[in-house]
Amino acid sequence: MNRSLRDGSVRILAPVVLGAVVVIAWQLLAGSGLVEAYLLPSPAAIGEQIVEFAPSMVSASGITGLNSLIGLIIGSVFGILLALLAVALRVIDWMVEPIVAALAVIPIVALAPVLNTMFGADSQFGRQAIAALASFVPVFINTVRGLRQTRPVHRDLMRAYAASGVQVMRTLTLPTAIPFVFTGIRLAASLAVISALVAEYFGGPRGGLGGLIATSAASSAYPRAWAYVVASIILGLAFFLVTLAIERWATGRRAPVPL
């Protein structure tokens, strides 16, 4: 076996082995009676719940996932459009900067009770709005940064070619910004899922992963609560991996993107 291939398989095997060891240790600890079952349900118990509630988990993931996705798309579109405006017009940059700074520091989910009340208890809109707000910030910040990454020598080149503003935007500024935009979207994807899920803790329609974690825990069905947590992790991972793949694809043949 050649060296790089061996390194590659070790890289994949190492975390799998660690994961297996942790799960086995967890199972032994939970079964030993040293820890109360409600504190630490065993992996086997959680596994049973996953099997039993599989259809509910799928539909709950669908609801939370759709809220996250809608939020992510709306937040990203606004983030990109506003970034374009901010880069084109200094005044807009100055107007938006403090708002974005505020959005970046306040925990967006703190708005959940307010928005849920505003849009009514039977609407998913509050959650989508929260996911959108959370997504907006990293997409906006990264897009602005990307739009300002053109190198002076490339700008000189465009000037030497007497290229119009639109041509410079199309052939230089946007292609330079694209990897940054997709990095922003990848960062936003995880935030969108977390926000949409946590927003469910503060009321609104039932059926999402966050709501079911809360109700399961409230009714002392701890293994079931953990099962929904597992589903949430899978949902978050799916968002992360899909956006990462899109980022890699969009970046194509350029310098590697920083993770």
Of these, 59, 123, 171, 215, which contacts another protein (CB under 8 A)?
171
Record the tokens describing residue 142, joined without a space: 């990264």
Asked whether position 154 contacts another protein by CB under 8 A, the answer is yes
Radius of gyration of the chain measured on its C-alpha atoms: 23
Q: What is the dihedral of CA 143, 138, 205, 48, to 10 degrees?
A: 120
3 state SS of 238: helix
**8-state DSSP, 42:** -
Let me know: does 188 contact 143? Beta carbons within 8 Å: no
Q: Is 160 in the site for another protein (CB under 8 A)?
A: yes
For the segment 173-202, give every residue that binds another protein (CB under 8 A): 175
Show the site string, 84-113: x = touches another protein by CB under 8 A, - = not: ------------------------------
Size of the site for another protein (CB under 8 A): 18
CA angle 141, 147, 148 (to 5 degrees): 95
Q: Based on the shown chain and the rule CB under 8 A, indicate whether residue 215 belongs to the binding site for another protein.
A: no
13, 157, 242, 245: which one binds another protein (CB under 8 A)? 157
When the beta carbons of 23 and 145 are compared against another protein, the nearer one is 145
CB of 97 to another protein, least distance (A): 24
Q: Which of 172, 230, 238, 257 binds another protein (CB under 8 A)?
A: 172
- Closest alpha carbon to 68 in 133, 136, 128: 128
Q: What minimum distance in Å lies between the beta carbon of 135 and another protein?
A: 25
Could you tell me which stretch among 21-29, 63-71, 162-170, 188-196 binds another protein (CB under 8 A)?
162-170
Question: Per rule CB under 8 A, is residue 153 in the interface with another protein?
Answer: yes
d(CA 23, CA 213): 21
We find the least distance from the C-beta atom of residue 175 to another protein, in angstroms, to be 5
Distance of CA 118 to the CA centre of its chain: 25
Interface with another protein, residue 151, by CB under 8 A:
yes
Q: Distance between terminal CA atoms of the chain?
A: 30
Q: Does 156 bind another protein (CB under 8 A)?
A: yes
- Picking from 61, 46, 24, 42, the residue whose alpha carbon sits closest to that of residue 232 is 61
Residue 246 within binding range of another protein, rule CB under 8 A: no
Asked if 162 interacts with another protein (CB under 8 A), we say yes
- The set of residues, in sequence order, having a beta carbon less than 8 Å from that of 185 and lying 6+ positions away, is 72, 76, 135, 139, 243, 246, 247
Count of other CB atoms within 10 angstroms of residue 174: 15
Task: Pick the binder of another protein from 159, 234, 237, 241 (CB under 8 A).
Answer: 159
- Residue 6 engages another protein in binding (rule: CB under 8 A): no
Rule CB under 8 A: which residues touch another protein? Answer: 151, 153-154, 156-157, 159-163, 167, 171-172, 175, 252-255
